[in-house]
Amino acid sequence: MRWAGWGDPAKSRELPDQVLKLLHDLLGVRPPPAPAATLESVELPPIALPEPLLRALAGVVGEEHVLTSRADRVRHTRGKSTPDLLRMRAGDGSDAPDAVVLAGSHEEVAALLRLCTTERIAVVPFGGGTSVVGGLQASRTGFAGVIALDLGRLDRLRSVDTESMVAEFEPGVRAPDAERLLAAHGLTLGHVPQSFEYATLGGFAAARSSGQASAGYGRFDDMVVGLTVATPSGDLDLGRAPKSAAGPDLRQLLLGSEGVFGVITSLRLRVRRAPAERLYERWRFASFAAGSAALRMIAQEGPLPAVLRLSDENETTFGLAKPETIDPGGEAGCLAIVGYEGRPATGREGVGASAAGPGISLADRRDAVAGVLERMGGEPVGEVSGEEWERGRFSAPYLRDALLAAGATVETLETAGFWADLPRLYDAVRLTLLGELGSPLVMCHISHVYETGASLYFTVVTAQEEDPVAQWERAKAAVSAAIVEAGGTITHHHGVGRDHLDAYAAELGPVGVAILQAVKSRLDPAGILNPGVLIPRTG
Amino acid sequence: MRWAGWGDPAKSRELPDQVLKLLHDLLGVRPPPAPAATLESVELPPIALPEPLLRALAGVVGEEHVLTSRADRVRHTRGKSTPDLLRMRAGDGSDAPDAVVLAGSHEEVAALLRLCTTERIAVVPFGGGTSVVGGLQASRTGFAGVIALDLGRLDRLRSVDTESMVAEFEPGVRAPDAERLLAAHGLTLGHVPQSFEYATLGGFAAARSSGQASAGYGRFDDMVVGLTVATPSGDLDLGRAPKSAAGPDLRQLLLGSEGVFGVITSLRLRVRRAPAERLYERWRFASFAAGSAALRMIAQEGPLPAVLRLSDENETTFGLAKPETIDPGGEAGCLAIVGYEGRPATGREGVGASAAGPGISLADRRDAVAGVLERMGGEPVGEVSGEEWERGRFSAPYLRDALLAAGATVETLETAGFWADLPRLYDAVRLTLLGELGSPLVMCHISHVYETGASLYFTVVTAQEEDPVAQWERAKAAVSAAIVEAGGTITHHHGVGRDHLDAYAAELGPVGVAILQAVKSRLDPAGILNPGVLIPRTG
């Protein structure tokens, strides 16, 4: 992973001249005045943790698992939001941890939490490092120091139960490794968010991730049937059955807890049989409203495909994945991607080989979905090749690096709401961004649908001002307030972190905030876990 | 509702002589020594709440909404478990509330909670009064008195949003009224537990109810997209979107909270289009194991019918709903009920008229399910008429009253687990009951399935000893311990109440218990809400 960007440097992209010209002509983008910092030139704070505490940490995990090199500290500094990258490109490493500590077992995690409680060391649980909401940026105030608790050594598939269709994983398994390990059993999670290449299973759970095939495979929180969590006050082991009436579902209190209540050390996940066949198609609708109505019909009356995604007019026109095809004057309508994964047979004989949801065949499912889409005004416009889909699905973060280097700020934000509220929410976000950023390019898609509502995912491109971080933070604060005001949730799948704290407090209300604070005080009385993240301060 | 039994007295059932003989011959059941108490002969404690406090309560809700008559107090005493009924039949009204208070609005509920906090009055939120786990039996210790907070006046459908398919209800709406109100819009909840005739929507949410058509319509907690809750510390308003990554899902902390954190005053529920057609069929399997494997296949690879239920060998033979057909020597195998609800068309043109889950037609769905059941060794044995199904689905609690009067104890208990754990769980429960109760009749069915597991629902019939309550409590304690030991959850849909407290504490572990206690202390610092229910005591 690039330390001040996204992904494998070998996959980095250059922007074609045509796109650079378009950025300049449409948005006034011009190259930034200074070159990006190098790893060696990043300004790091001195290591605050005194030697005896570093030795005490090494006493738990072994000396070779306490890392304090420049590269290790930089690579565990903040996450991968655009402001995070802009700060790193500017050489600002002020949020670097004092040390990176790699735990090798549940027991070591628990022992570290006890030690850090006693010694008042802040702990940032660290999986793939892909937070885009400041979820890895702990507060130092009142602490002897800050460590990143890297879970990368907890990387095993512990068991597979093909009768219950449950697999037990350690939290540090990266998504591609999880799929590789499951594929050996003919199984899959089917969880493919844009962070797929780097993100870990523990991170997916802690941040309530949702993937590109959520229509068929569900959100990550739907997949979690059990969790083991180490907290400073002891262990939690949750999930004796898929569902229960034994009180509140405490799994749902740990899912989305972003490391502030404890560290997930084991996950029991619902798995599916790996699909034998995949098919992705494009559909065109006259407008975002018409396409939304079709997606709603599918979500409410099904059957659901594995992937269901609709771009608005702007995203259809400027489709970031293929910048060379941009035609700003065109009338493309709105494109949807509809993907099917399952068994190929059309008969009933092989119902037992399905993957995504109910076991009707891919062909039957495709027929049913296509019938609804056509009835709702959709027009099929051809298959997407598997290669094209693979290439497109993870490309946006790579493209972002090229855009940042060219002097454009590109960032994403997302929300969700009930169907009847979505038009108002869409307008509120768009109008606020247009008002705050001059004339940015604002694009949107729906990528996750439910019977009662859907998510809206926005991509914004604008020319960098002199202080692009401050520029974005201003716009972000305004748009977050607009989302709260319009009745949406502040995040559908990115999480709260630090960036959404104010809006989250408004969304929860004071009694909701009080609940979080009460749980926090009880489980982590010294407040060492990810301080400053998720839990709004009151007063 | 009968005050010491179940349901409409007009629907009460007599046991045929043939069944009485069978009970005597098989189980040694003989008529109880004393006749059941009358409403007038029940021993009630004196009203502990002093006049000024009763007047203060009346100051909030109006004098006509504070009820202290014998009948009102008796009818709000405990719930409808078999020990509850046995105690009432024995004339024991010692847990009666001092008064029944009917609130007419959210504001009145909130004001009552403030008043009761100040005056240390325990509050038992009361919906349909159908708890079977002691969920309405509050502790008096340390309180000036106990009131039942009856939510029956909060009985309105507040809004219907047919775009989002969300209906907002007040909590005191009984299930049949909810269905009647929704039917006027062509909609349904599809939530039909055995308590359907009396239970309320607020109670379903507070106790995580699951209905007989859960395979198609989901559990009640799946239907709740939003909640408003009045707590002694202020209001909570949860659910801005179907799903969110904005921290823990606090809806899931209130669902299943059994009135100990607050009182639900509004519910936003996902609704479905009412089905145009229903079809229920019987299938026979060679054994419970063979039938379970078939249900598992359907749950994992679908598509799901609306109703999916499999009786074990004993329940098939003694099928309580039709006692006149019992043939203890027969080899009936195991019967399953498979029910479909949806639109009748077989073509794709009308996908928009479905009810239960994905919108494939009833006929297509039936074909797909039947294909799996046949492949797994099932044999179709005919349709169940709608009338027969209607009559059978709610009859068991009526039959229980007749059995209690005849000198038999009949009670149900349930659990859930992952598929691979179910055989062990099934054996543990059966063997424990057989060991504790001599030679009772133990029957079981699976009525709720998930991809990763299922519920087991047991019915036990045994001859009453001299103290039938103590007899059952002994057996219940042993079987609860056995469930915990075998790795199941202590309850799939009955809830925790008082009866499951010990097992629940073992299931949660000390850190889980600490979480509940922390939330309780913060929201209800005086501990007035349903004291003694749900939250295990530690120490």
pLDDT at B436 over 60: yes
Q: Chain B window 163-222: which residues touch A at a Cβ cutoff of 8 Å?
A: 163-166, 207-210, 219, 221
Q: How far apart are CA B74 and CA B38, in angstroms?
A: 11
Does B104 or A360 have the greater pLDDT score? Answer: B104
| pLDDT at residue A352, as a whole number | 37
Q: How far apart are CA A315 and CA A321, in angstroms?
A: 10
Block residue for tokens 């039917």: B183
Q: How far apart are CA A58 and CA A68, in angstroms?
A: 12
Residues of chain A where predicted confidence (pLDDT) is lower than 70 = 320-331, 344-359, 539
Counting beta carbons within 10 angstroms of the beta carbon of residue B222, is it exposed (0 to 12), middle (13 to 18) or buried (19 or more)?
Answer: middle
A475: its two tokens: 């716009």
Amino acid at position A304, single letter: L
Residue A494, chain B, CB below 8 Å: the answer is yes
Average pLDDT over residues B33-58: 96
Closest-approach residue (CA) in chain A for B504: A246
Chain B: closest CA distance from residue A81 (Å): 16
Does B359 or B493 have the greater pLDDT score? Answer: B493
User: Which residues in chain A have their CB less than 8 angstroms from residue B208's CB?
Assistant: 244-245
User: Which residues in chain A have their CB less than 8 angstroms from residue B249's CB?
Assistant: 221, 252-253, 255-256
Q: How far apart are CA B517 and CA B497, in angstroms?
A: 15
Chain A: closest CA distance from residue B151 (Å): 21
The three-class DSSP label of residue A206 is: helix
Q: In what order do the strands lie in the sheet with A234-238?
A: A157-161, A166-169, A263-270, A224-231, A234-238
Going by C-alpha positions, the residue among B197, B230, B208, B254 that lies closest to residue B397 is: B197
Residue B301, chain A, CB below 8 Å: the answer is yes
Which of A208, A241, A300 is facing B245, going by the closest CB pair? A208
Region of residue B44 (left: phi > 0; alpha: psi -120 to 50; beta: else):
beta
Q: How far is CA A9 from CA A37, A92, A436, B165, in A?
A: 16, 21, 33, 46
Closest-approach residue (CA) in chain B for A421: B164
pLDDT at B539 over 70: no
- C-beta of residue B252 within 8 angstroms of C-beta of residue A249: yes
CB contact under 8 Å between B247 and A534, yes or no, is yes
Residue A524, chain B, CB below 8 Å: the answer is no
| pLDDT at residue A327, as a whole number | 55
| pLDDT at residue A81, as a whole number | 97
SS3 sequence of A252-301? HHHCCCCCCCCEEEEEEEECEECCCEEEEEEEEECCHHHHHHHHHHHHHH
A378: its two tokens: 């959709």
Chain A: closest CA distance from residue B539 (Å): 16
Which residues lie closer than 8 Å to B288 by C-beta, 6 or more apart?
B310, B312, B313, B334, B426, B444
CB contact under 8 Å between B235 and A165, yes or no, is no
CB contact under 8 Å between B304 and A358, yes or no, is yes
Which residues lie closer than 8 Å to A136 by C-beta, 6 or more apart?
A76, A77, A78, A79, A124, A126, A129, A148, A497
- C-beta of residue B88 within 8 angstroms of C-beta of residue B77: yes
Chain B: closest CA distance from residue A371 (Å): 7
Phi/psi at B92 (5° precision): -90, 100
As a residue count, chain A comes to: 539
Q: How far apart are CA B70 and CA A137, in angstroms?
A: 62
| pLDDT at residue A389, as a whole number | 79
| pLDDT at residue A348, as a whole number | 39
Does B330 or A199 have the greater pLDDT score? Answer: A199
pTM for this model (two decimals)? 0.96
User: Which residues in chain A have their CB less than 8 angstroms from residue B245's CB?
Assistant: 207-210, 256, 491-496
Other C-beta atoms closer than 10 Å to the C-beta of A478 total: 16
**Average pLDDT over chain B, rounded to an integer:** 93
Which of A164, A248, A250 is facing B419, going by the closest CB pair? A164
User: Which residues in chain B have their CB less than 8 angstroms from residue A244's CB?
Assistant: 208, 416, 489, 491-492
| pLDDT at residue B56, as a whole number | 98
CB contact under 8 Å between B243 and A492, yes or no, is yes
The CA radius of gyration of chain A, in Å to the nearest whole number, is 23
Chain B: closest CA distance from residue A378 (Å): 15
| pLDDT at residue B359, as a whole number | 61
Residue A462, chain B, CB below 8 Å: the answer is no
pLDDT at B229 over 50: yes
Q: How far apart are CA A455 and CA B64, in angstroms?
A: 48
